[in-house]
Structure 1
Amino acid sequence: MPTVVLMDVSLSMTRPVSLDGSEEFQRKNLAVHGLNMLFEHMASNYRLEFTALMAFSSLWELLVPFTRDYNALQEALSNLEDYDKTCVESALNGVSNVVQQEWGSACPCQVMLVTDGSLGIGKGSLRHSLQTLKQRGDDKKFPLPFPFPTKLFIMCIANAEELQMTDAMDNLEELLRLSGGDGQIFTVEGPLCMKSVQAMFGRLIDHAYSPFHAVLHCGNLSSDVQVFPRPEPIVVDEEVEPMPRTVSTDLEIVGFIEIADISSPPVISRHLVLPIAVNKEVDEVGAGATDELEEEPSASQMAGKSPNFCVLLHGSLKVEGMVALVQLGPEWYGMLYSQADSKKKSNLMMSLFEPGPEPLPWLGKISHLGPISEAAENPYGEDDSKSPFPVQPQVKRSYAQNVTVWIKASGLQTDVQKILRNARKLPDKTQTFYKELNRLRKAALAFGFWELLKGVADLLERECTLLPDSAHPDAAFQLSHAAQQLKLASTGDSQYAAFDHNIAPMHTDFSS
């Protein structure tokens, strides 16, 4: 999940802060100190994440495009210049442009706004932008919410009391709400100083940038792994009392399946899985794109020399063209697979399915799957010519049946005309006539369209009076019988308006 750091370099950030009688620092210096702390943490724990640095005042500038080089980011921070007034709206427009050019509108992104809480003055200030939200045309829309999934973190180099003395906190909370509400406002606790700013960025790190360590198990084999980005808790809306579900730190592989059978399943999120304490030598075997990771000191003697199950798993999935089904928690599954991002690099990826026992309908319940060796015969055939999937459901799905839907008047008119055309060809079209009549009857009963049944009955009676002298006598009997049955159904009486009941042709005998 890439991160955009949006640094406020307006004049208000140059306001001095006295630190225990020592030399004076500007608020900008405190912000730079906190960001350096964050970048050092990401360099150690999030080396595979991309980060961009932007500066803004009345205009915005991309100082460092998306990169994994945290030295370049820290160097750009040390060379920040001071500009004029604050204009948050133009900066947010800049973030939208930069992210969409690099990642498109599908990739989730974290946006970190670092400011002193000053809203700016006059036209272009945040206060003015929020006040004019409803008076804008389509060509001047406010940039929030972004067209891509976003988490907005607002880092205020000020304490909550200072922000609440004005309407700054209310406006920042409105900004967070417009972004979708998925984020947080961080303020300094206590007096402004290096220590309190460090504590504020420490809370951000714990909330959004703490690494996710887990143990990957498969039978008697296991491996310590790290997952990027950290899997977020999710809430299942269908539950009566929804509770956030979190990915377990014990990931259990429950089986393997061919890529063709898993197809392209719907997933909640995708994550990169890396074995802990590996170096480039191991990476070349197939651990993933980890050649930029530094070797952990505690494992410097072991990395690259001891067997690693995670490396074995990645190489096996890549060669065999299979995926591993992994249990993330109670009735929650995902899959591990190899994905190449270039000709030379491939990564071990983990995708999370929707929680539930049957996340992929064509596989049936995951708990019902088993090894081929336990089947009476090979479900794939001797020459892999067949597949046991998709699993056919015991009950026929409603979307697989012919359902009558009338969206426009022309559709209803067509169905009525079809009945009348068959009515004029009785008795030759008796079966087709009753088939179309029963289809219309069921749809009218399902919609509670009693007037339609009465209207069609009147039409059939009219057709009966218009029959020519040369018409077969059976036609008049069938039309009268059908009209009577529709009129009875139009009363809504359960005896005649049963949905599963079909109008049967009237039995006649003209053989003599």
Structure 2
Amino acid sequence: MVWVVLLDEQLNLLRPHDTISDRSCFALCKTLAKRVISGLCSGVTDSCVTVVQPNWSDDSPKLTTFSNNVPTLHLAIDQLEEPSPIVQQKLNDLVLWTLTEVFRYWGPSATIQILLFTDGGASPFLHPAPGDNVASSQFPRLPKVAQSNASLTVITLSNDQVSPDILRIYRQFLPQSSILSWKKYQPTNGGAPLTEDDLGPFADYCLRTCLVSHGFDRNCEVSLRCGHLNSSVQLAPVLRIADYGSSESPTSLRLEIFGFLHTSDLSNPPVVSRHHVSNVSNENRTPFLQLLMSALQETKTVAMCSIYAGETNSSAAGTCTKSTHADGRNDAANLLRHGFVHQVDPKVSILMLSVFPKDCIGLPWLGQFQHLAPVEDFAGVQLYDDREGSSPFPVLVPDRLSYGTLSDSNVGQNRAASAGGEPFRYVSWVSPTSLLSEVNKVLRLGRRLPEKSAIFFKELARLRSAALAYGCPELLVHVAHLTESAHATENPVGQAQSDAVRVHLDTMNRMLSEAAAQLDD
């Protein structure tokens, strides 16, 4: 879960002076927020906390780094400036901006809890009174994804009466919103002023209420495995599988790395949630995560993985789960998701798990995940040779491996057929962007025939070789059609130029037809 700490800075007029000590209202809110953050980071280590810094003066809000480091978060709270009664503040817009930024970083399936601290006071001179007569169209509504994955808790130093703008936001989050007030927590204080000593028990009460409402009483063990290497890790925020087949969420998760992919080959896959991957504790640090991070950084790759559910039994030798067969194979019935582990930033030593949607069982440039084969199945007898410029990737044309079924090739006959009776299809781990750039280059040069004929045919030959290797000769047909269409729509400058263009177009069609015939043979 992602915890967002936001302080209401509209603490200028009509403050509840009868319940506040001689300290500033805003200073008490900052102290209360820091105490809640301390308890949150110590009690829920697999969550991330961020502080919203509004910066109303220059209208450039920002979020602090997602972290569970108490000194860093306390420093962010201390850096919040005292509110100014002159600067107009739009709290509703700030909340919407915060949700957008958090979902953009963690994915649309992230669970967000906003903790809004206020003293309960408000200025009715700046905001209209709450009521049904206020047109909802005047204020931005919460995005649809926030209505199910985001919740709001208002922590007030006064009673349940809050300012109109907070009340408006509170109604938008219903039924996933609540108000925790000092007077409700301490109704028998006889109207005594709130002191700093009272903030400790009140902070514990607020934290306990929030944790119970989100079901943090059960921990989920997570293990990360790659071959014979494994390590117990924690995910922040917690990966919660809402559509798990059992009546309860799994008590343990297992991340199985099944391959590595170059970062340039990702091509913006669909991601529903992101989670930081770290060691369980400093005492149980293992070299595996550091080794994995170094390998990903040096090779510029990401680790493709499958996420399984199962009961984990940790031991000194490693980790085993009941979702694994005796021969080491994983039970497909316990497969929850696919995703990939990657480094967030080359300058930051943080591993991130990006999870695909449930219905994402393959990607266009990878094919079905369960059909991915080891590199040996594609390599044949010859690996890539820089000197000769030869490569089996994505396929060797004579072997007909690319997108071919088992019946088309004798290679890989020992592999089992896929579930559902469909023939097994080899896939090519290629980048769609590289081929697309080659197509665009050829089309640009084709529009400038005949003056660019030399470089046009050179690039066309490269594109023809790539299309044949990728197993998509129909791409060449479309390229030829688009090139001819570009010249058909232009007004000819002269008959001589039209004849020259026609000669080049005929040469192009002859080259591409020979390529298609070569593939059919």
TM-score of the pair, normalised by structure 2: 0.50
2-structure distance, mates of 1:142, 1:24: 36
Aligned residue-pair number: 338
The answer to whether residue 98 in structure 2 is matched with residue 92 in structure 1 is no
| Residue aligning to 1:178 | 172
Q: Secondary structure at the match of 2:156?
A: strand
Partners of 1:361 and 1:245 in 2: CA distance: 33
* C-alpha distance after superposition, 1:401-449 (max 9, x if no partner): xxxxxxxxxxxxxxxxxxxxxxxxxxxxxxxxxxxxxxxxxxxxxxxxx
Q: 1:268 to 1:29 in 2, by over 3 A?
A: same
Does structure 2 retain, via aligned residues, the 8 Å contact 1:268–1:353? Answer: yes
Matched, 1:309 2:302: no
In 2, the alpha carbon distance for the partners of 1:263 and 1:380 equals 30
The percent of aligned pairs where both chains have the same amino acid is 16
- Candidates 283, 303, 313, aligned match of 1:323: 303
Is residue 385 from structure 1 mapped to residue 393 from structure 2 by the alignment?
yes
Distance 1:72 1:244, change over 3 A: farther
Amino acid at match of 2:393: S
After superposition, residues 304-383 of structure 1 pair within 5 angstroms as: 308-320=287-299, 321-329=301-309, 330-339=334-343, 341-342=345-346, 344-345=347-348, 347-355=350-358, 358-360=361-363, 363=366, 366-367=369-370, 369=372, 371-372=374-375, 375=377, 378=379, 382=383, 383=391
Distance 1:262 1:249 in 2: 28
Partner of 2:19: 17
3-state DSSP class of the match of 1:17? coil
Match of 2:207 among 174, 197, 201: 201
CA distance in structure 1 between the aligned counterparts of 2:205 and 2:19, rounded to whole angstroms: 17
Please say if residues 11 and 84 of structure 1, whose CA atoms lie closer than 8 Å, have aligned partners that are also in contact: no
- 1:47, distance to aligned residue in structure 2 (A): 10
Q: CA deviation at 1:311?
A: 1.6
Residue 223 of structure 1: CA displacement?
1.4
Deviation at 1:220, TM superposition (A): 3.9
The answer (yes or no) to whether the contact 1:4–1:54 under 8 Å persists in 2 is: no
- Separation (CA, whole Å) in 2 of partners of 1:48 and 1:156: 19
The aligned residue for residue 505 of structure 1 is none
Alpha-carbon distance change, 151 to 98 in structure 1, aligned in 2, over 3 angstroms: closer
Q: Give 1:35's aligned residue.
A: 33
Residue among 110, 113, 118 paired with 2:116: 113
Q: Which amino acid aligns with 1:327?
A: I
What value does the CA root-mean-square deviation take over the aligned residues? Answer: 5.0
Counterpart-to-counterpart distance in 1, 2:98 and 2:255: 39
Task: Check whether the contact 2:235–2:276 (CA below 8 A) recurs between aligned residues.
Answer: yes
Looking at CA atoms only, which structure, 1 or 2, has the larger radius of gyration?
Answer: 1
The answer for the alignment partner of 1:131 in structure 2 is: 133
Give the aligned residue type for 2:210.
L
For the Cα contact (< 8 Å) 1:7–1:53, is it kept in 2?
Answer: no
Which residue in 1 is equivalent to 2:258? 255
Once residues 275 and 391 of structure 1 are traced to their aligned partners in structure 2, the CA distance between those partners, rounded to angstroms, is 42
C-alpha distance 357-308 of structure 1, shift in aligned 2 (>3 A): same
- SS at the partner of 1:127? coil
Q: Distance in 2 between matches of 1:6 and 1:203?
A: 19
Task: For residue 5 of structure 1, report the CA deviation from its aligned partner.
Answer: 1.0
Q: Post-superposition shift, 1:273?
A: 1.3
Cα displacement (A) at 1:269 = 1.4
- Structure 1 residue runs without a partner (length 5+): 237-241, 278-295, 396-512
1:204 is paired with a residue of what secondary structure? helix
Residue equivalent to 1:443: none
**Which residue is 1:154 aligned to?**
153
Aligned pair in 2 of structure 1 residues 34, 99: CA closer, same or farther (>3 Å)? same
Unaligned runs of 5+ in 2: 66-71, 107-111, 188-197, 310-333, 384-390, 396-400, 406-417, 424-521
Q: Residue 494 of structure 1 corresponds to which residue in structure 2? A: none
Partner in structure 2 of residue 52 of structure 1 = 52
| Cα distance in structure 1, aligned partners of 2:237 and 2:381 | 37
Report the equivalent of 2:236: 228
> Do the aligned partners of residues 99 and 379 (structure 1) sit closer, same or farther apart at CA in structure 2, a change above 3 Å counting?
farther
Q: Name the CA shift for 1:65/1:126 in 2 (closer, same or farther; >3 Å).
A: farther
Cα deviation, 1:59-91, whole Å, max 9, x if unaligned, reads: 8898995334324334246x7468599x9x822
- Whether 1:271 aligns to 2:271 is no
1:131 match: secondary structure: coil
Q: Distance in 2 between the 1:389 and 1:2 partners?
A: 47
The letter for the 2-side match of 1:331 is: L
Residue of structure 1 in register with 2:479 after alignment: none
Pairwise mapping of residues 459-498 of structure 1 onto structure 2 (< 5 A)? none
Q: Is this contact kept in 2: 1:317–1:337, CA < 8 A?
A: no
Query: What secondary structure is seen at the aligned counterpart in 1 of 2:352?
Result: strand
Partner of 1:460: none
1:16 partner SS: coil
Farther-moved stretch of structure 1 (322-331 vs 211-220): 211-220
Check the 8 A contact 2:116/2:153 in 1, yes or no: yes
Is the CA contact (8 Å cut-off) linking 2:277 and 2:351 kept in structure 1? yes
Deviation at 1:310, TM superposition (A): 1.5
Cα offsets for 1:439-485 (capped at 9, x unmatched): xxxxxxxxxxxxxxxxxxxxxxxxxxxxxxxxxxxxxxxxxxxxxxx
- Aligned pairs (5 A) from 1:407-426: none
State the AA in 2 paired with 1:34: L
The aligned amino acid for 1:106 is R
User: Following TM superposition, by how much is the alpha carbon of 1:350 offset from its aligned partner in structure 2, in angstroms?
Assistant: 1.0
Q: Which residue of 1 is the match for residue 186 of structure 2?
A: 191
- Greater RCO, 1 or 2 (C-alpha within 8 Å, sep 6+): 2
